[in-house]
Amino acid sequence: MRKDMFVLLLVLMALLGNGILGEAKTLVIGIHDDLATLDPADFSHRQTEIMLRQIYEGVSTYTPAREIQYELAESIEAIDDKTYEIRIRRGVKFHDGTP
């Protein structure tokens, strides 16, 4: 029992010391390639997609089963052949904090 408590204490100290349970710190992600672009509408590079997904959230995306999954959208309705009405979910804000 004492040994278990000691191990738990060491783990907690390690987590707090690494910022996992403490204050926020910089997250570093290792990617083996450079980004092709920062334009979320103009990429076809897997490593770029991985990084852009950390920066941007799209209106919708596809699941692995190729079904549409809403992200920012609450609903998407085709009004006619060239017009879609996209309702954005509540609470979404732009980068500057405006709704």
DSSP 3-state of 64: coil
Taking residues 29-56, report their average pLDDT.
Answer: 82
To the nearest 10°, report the CA torsion of 5, 10, 16, 21: -50
Q: What is the pTM of this model?
A: 0.53
Q: Is residue 38, in this structure, part of any structural domain at all? A: yes
Q: Are the C-beta atoms of residues 95 and 72 closer than 8 Å to each other?
A: no
Q: Is residue 99, in this structure, part of any structural domain at all? A: no
Q: Which of 57, 56, 61, 52 is nearest to 29 (CA)?
A: 52
Q: Is residue 22, in this structure, part of any structural domain at all? A: no
pLDDT tier for residue 40 given thresholds of 50, 70 and 90? confident
Taking residues 43-52, report their average pLDDT.
Answer: 82
What is the per-residue pLDDT for 73? 94
Q: CA–CA separation, 75 vs 46, rounded Å?
A: 27
Kindly give, in sequence order, each residue whose CB lies less than 8 Å from that of residue 88, ignoring residues fewer than 6 positions away: 59, 72, 73, 74
Count of domains in the chain? Answer: 1
Given a cut of 90, whether residue 50 has pLDDT beyond it is: no
pLDDT tier for residue 29 given thresholds of 50, 70 and 90? confident
Range of the domain at 67: 27-88
Q: What is the helix (H) or strand (E) element at residue 78, kind and residue range?
A: strand 73-80
What is the per-residue pLDDT for 72? 93
Q: What is the helix (H) or strand (E) element at residue 61, kind and residue range?
A: strand 60-62
